[in-house]
A and B are shown apart, each in its own frame.
Chain A
Amino acid sequence: QVQLVQSGTEVKKPGASVRVSCRASGYTFTDHYMHWVRQAPGLGLEWMGRINLDSGGTNYAQKFRARVTMTRDPSIATAYMEVKNLKVDDTAVYYCARDEVNYFDFWGQGTLVTVSS
């Protein structure tokens, strides 16, 4: 069965970076895109970008283009999302989600990133 397992909770100071991982199993890793979506406390879902897990090509939401990098390591079926220069309002749960032809059919469990001085 398809599973996406994300890395654990992170606490960071403003200005630091964080990298969240998403390990996939149960399907051919490189056959799909992976998207990253975040959810600030009490707020809605926000699309951050996507990565082609085969080629490594990326598309980022304009808001995140300067500070977010998505990568992948097909040898261990893992996708990564790094946010640099963290701000307090980057505090959110970050989700990876598998793309099945333009919809998200499987989601990771979420990773809470707290940014606080």
Chain B
Amino acid sequence: AIQMTQSPSSLSASVGDRVTITCRASQGIRNDLGWYQQKPGKAPKLLIYAASSLQSGVPSRFSGSGSGTDFTLTISSLQPEDFATYYCLQDYNYPYTFGQGTKVEIK
């Protein structure tokens, strides 16, 4: 199975900060990667699919980039509602696999 290594596992940031989260695949996965946001007690929410496509309704401060093995989720200006845990998921081949998650906390 493809391993997804996500970093950092947690970070502290302030409102207005630019935040970057990375995901590395153990083998090339083209652009078959999505990013998800999960708030406590809630189901995950799709933010980005196909590495860089913004899901409908998601604010434009979220962006994704990368291809092959290295991927990045960027929040251009962190807002109070963005404090959450973020996961990447490869949907290149079965079994799909998630990264370990990145918890974004308030500094």
B is a partner of A? no
Seen from chain A, the residues whose Cβ lies within 8 Å of a Cβ on chain B are none
Listed in ascending order, the chain B residues whose CB lies under 8 Å from chain A are none
